[in-house]
Structure 1
């Protein structure tokens, strides 16, 4: 009766070939609905996937205020974890830091949305595959002076999720700052971020943004990889997918992942660049991830990004003699 009265041009149902988040209608309910729907309207039935995805990916003003606070907390926990308060070189292991981070979140009454990971790159060891940092890496690696530390860490609060990767350097005896070659490596990671976020434009698909960003990075002599995903109600949420770690030529164009960029959305700006260090005679990988908001006025980071290495221990500032 409602359908006959309103005579809709389209009737959106919760089914989708491409987006599982918009595919909750079971076969029995679909058949029951179609059996009651007048035949004149049956050709007007379409997937409501655009409505479902847009609803999940869109962030409100109030949510963005909360998001900024949540990302700030994430940064603060990482900064404390990657400090002398938690790490004693030669004593503390990567697993110690991971479990400290998890315990810290629990004590704050929050939740982690995945188990934190901490990994090490150092001069004596060759670079391994990208996934090593997230799975398959040795546990309980002893943290030593001269190590470059990397973490992947995210928390959940009020239905929102963060996802952050940052880097720290463990000072050698006598050092008060990181080596310039590591500072420059981080700058290259920041440049890949710039190329990605500079190319985020409303209506562009993830594949188009990916191609433009990679081309710009490579033209600058960088060796980038980009695998940015929507962030929000889920850690890996619905919306625009800009590359995957194993799909640097773009995701399949007919699988629904090639979804256009819309305003009022949040992304985990996740990427890396491979950098050769003559001083270490090896490649390293600068892996970064920060929450970013794309709005009607363009892109901004939700709560800043890492542009300097965290130092362990923090250098003391002495005044006078």
Structure 2
């Protein structure tokens, strides 16, 4: 009942926000309250299932101040901007029908979720108190965040891990295992409450792009790509938000320059003056309420006498949308990223599309934990992270490009698209729609 009530309250509040161009951006106080409600809901209603799925009944997350495990930063209350001294959080699954026990080996509670279980006057040593907590509960498996291939699940530092093992002794050290899949599950799972607000967040990002690709910002022959980039940065700050990466604006046009993957993905494009006839492309994202966006869209600058995008560019853009449809149509629970990549590329090529697919999970992080579905320089598959299976209730930046030869320009044009999408038992849906027509700059 509480879970349903939280969802209803969030839907009501955010549906009333999104009535103007950007929607009302919450005050810092209201953001904190929202983040904390989302955290409470997820720990109580989603984490137990993830731990049971992976067969781990105790999960220990530990970090020192300013050297935080990426996971612990998603577990702290909004008012905590960092760990304090050494912060140790313990989750213990007491079994079916019982709530997850959430403990802070700390002198004080950590928000509303983690209750303090350390009285320093009674037990001066924090590690010794953790060992007592473990011994009292006698878990079957003790998970810690160690991972060779998933960086976001590899947050325990060498010193903490060594001292932890020494403190709990050989009996319980034998029970210590990697919590890699629990950490990934926690990070990649999107809750009903999060999905009630995510469309609003993605919508803000879309509106910024739409305004950037307009005559409000661009004067052909005067405005440079860097002018637009910094307008976007200023706009984000004006709205009281932040970006998680520096945006890019680049140009494809009827000139001899060819598309270069290495130049495009490894370094920033050179600043250029935006001219009539240019096909513009952006890569842009924001962070709000601990959720991220990552989007790529296109705009065309009309030439004198033109009133619409040339047909040859519209057809190229349609190929990009078709590639999206092929790709998302192959998502299926349990399939690996490499399997989806292979199927999608083969189908696209059979339809005459030249594809490149490099999709990643998104959520608490821009390039988030979960299933990797190609990289721009690994179109044959990605070892390990590409072998991770798709789980339901996860979100992705559907990032890819389709190359189309444009006779009028005498070269290939890449339609590079990226949009947030949610995968559940009903399939894949875009969180706030997708771009289906090239924007026009008059």
- 1:124 CA drift (Å): 1.7
TM-score by length of 2: 0.67
Q: Which has the larger radius of gyration?
A: 2
Where does residue 269 of structure 1 map in the other structure? 398
Of 63, 86, 98, which aligns to 2:229?
98
Residues 149 and 224 of structure 1, relative CA distance in 2, 3 Å threshold: same
- SS, match of residue 266 in structure 1: strand
- SS, match of residue 235 in structure 1: coil
Q: Which moved more, 1:301-310 or 1:23-32?
A: 23-32
Q: Which runs of 5+ in 1 are unaligned?
A: 314-321
Structure-to-structure mapping, 1:33-182, within 5 angstroms: 33-37=164-168, 39-133=170-264, 135-139=267-271, 141-182=272-313
Where does residue 209 of structure 1 map in the other structure? 340
Deviations 1:231-287 (A, max 9, x none): 11111111111001111001124xx45311111111110000111011111111110
- SS, match of residue 92 in structure 1: coil
Matches of 2:215 and 2:162, distance apart in 1:
63
Where does residue 330 of structure 2 map in the other structure? 199
Q: Which moved more, 1:278-287 or 1:3-12?
A: 3-12
TM-score by length of 1: 0.91
- SS, match of residue 186 in structure 2: helix
Matches of 1:45 and 1:18, distance apart in 2:
19
Of 25, 30, 39, which aligns to 2:156?
25
The reply on whether 1:287 has 2:419 as its aligned counterpart is: no
Where does residue 299 of structure 1 map in the other structure? 428
Of 307, 315, 335, which aligns to 1:184?
315
Matches of 1:60 and 1:148, distance apart in 2:
37
Where does residue 232 of structure 1 map in the other structure? 363
Q: How many correspondences in the alignment?
A: 310
Residues 29 and 309 of structure 1, relative CA distance in 2, 3 Å threshold: closer
Matches of 1:32 and 1:286, distance apart in 2:
52
Q: Is the 8 A contact 1:117 1:133 kept in 2?
A: no
Q: Which runs of 5+ in 2 are unaligned?
A: 1-131
Of 358, 367, 376, which aligns to 1:245?
376
Q: Is the 8 A contact 2:245 2:285 kept in 1?
A: yes
- 1:80 CA drift (Å): 1.0
Relative contact order: is structure 1 or structure 2 higher (C-alpha 8 Å, sep ≥ 6)?
Answer: 1
Q: Is the 8 A contact 1:118 1:133 kept in 2?
A: no
Q: Which moved more, 1:120-129 or 1:172-181?
A: 120-129
